Structure 1
Amino acid sequence: ERETSISRGLEALEAKAQSANMCAQRLLLIPAEAKNAGGVSHQIDVQKELLETESWRLLSVDPTAVIKPSLVQLKDQFLREWQQQQDAKIEAEDAAQKRDEEKQERTEELHRLKEIMQQQELEEKRLREEHARELEEINKQCKQYTERLNAGRATDGKSVVQSRGELASLQQKYDDFMNTSKAELRELDACLSSELDVLTDHKMRIEQQLQELGEHLRGKVATLRDYDCSA
């Protein structure tokens, strides 16, 4: 009966040792060359042959002296790595949120600049149409005065002089109008060019920021992937 009891006890001990070995293997503590073993053997073998002579050496490895410290160290290591990954994840999320906010601000600013450019284009179109109408009216008046001048040459010298004065005045108005129109168009073109430069600069900055964000997130993803593989 005593031998039966001892035999059952040994069987139970071997079952627990096997379970512990499987767990240690999953944690990369077995074999001694495994990643987390540190060159130390963590495999528990039940040495039945020492039961009668050196029962205190029944187990090939002392769980309290060898396995438990390794488990504590491994747990601390996992906690540190997990915390690092959490910090990296939070940092990546914060960076992504900041980039999204900056992107939204830039998008709104670009939208505002586009609206300004559209308004200026409409204003330029209006001015061109207005100038065209005024030019047409001036040309019409010039034609009328020319006709009057030609008619006056054959009838009344006073009318000729008067018409010439009116024509000279009209010519001066025409020249002033053309100079003013050219100056306004140059100013409008310069304004549009400046707004376009600002728009292009904002576009390039947004593209640069998106590229930097992509590289940052790819680095974090690679770090998380390495951690998952090691775990």
Structure 2
Amino acid sequence: MINLCFHGIGTPPDGVPAEEASYWIGVDTFRRVLDLVAERPDVRISFDDGNASDVTVALPDLLERGRVAEFFVIAGRVGDSGSLSADDVRRLRLAGMGVGSHGMHHRVWRRLSPAEQHEELVVARRRLEEILGEPVRTAACPLGRYDRVTLAALRRLRYTRVYTSDRALARPGTWRQARFSLRAHDTADDVAGWLRHGDRSTTRLADSARTFVKGLR
């Protein structure tokens, strides 16, 4: 199966860091991709960062097509300009979408101090749980980066599924899920190529080996 990950949809607002702006895609591209995978149950959709476009653009288009997605929210940005409000986060959940943690400050989870790791993996989740009034069980690694220490901490904290950005195929039901993150220059034709990539058994084996090794670092 293939996990597709979106970030911002449309034009990045002023103040968005350049590294994040490079992951924003146009509304037309977003809709073309949704139409491309409309009949593909083997394609999962997720969103990182908790941008306001999650509710202004993505949510209506998902509902129109009868698709669900998981939204990984940066807890420390909830309520900030250009980001989801607490009401927006609840709106996503009430619409049947999943909500997971993307940490507190959008910093890489590798090589954090114990205090920083606690803030990113525990405090951020707790803040989202207070907003939702229910447990938050899934997480997505910021910038897709992780190591064995990060993975061990996430397991210890009983996250039930963790998403990365390895541009690799994923196996249904596994705890660690690789994703293909779309960047500003990606097109619906590129996504069609990724889908063809997923139809080859040799590619599936190679991707499994590559992500396994990465988790041992």
TM-score by length of 2: 0.16
Write 1 or 2 for the structure with the bigger share of strand: 2
The answer to which structure, 1 or 2, has the higher relative contact order (CA under 8 A, 6+ apart) is: 2
Larger Rg: 1
TM-score by length of structure 1 reads 0.15
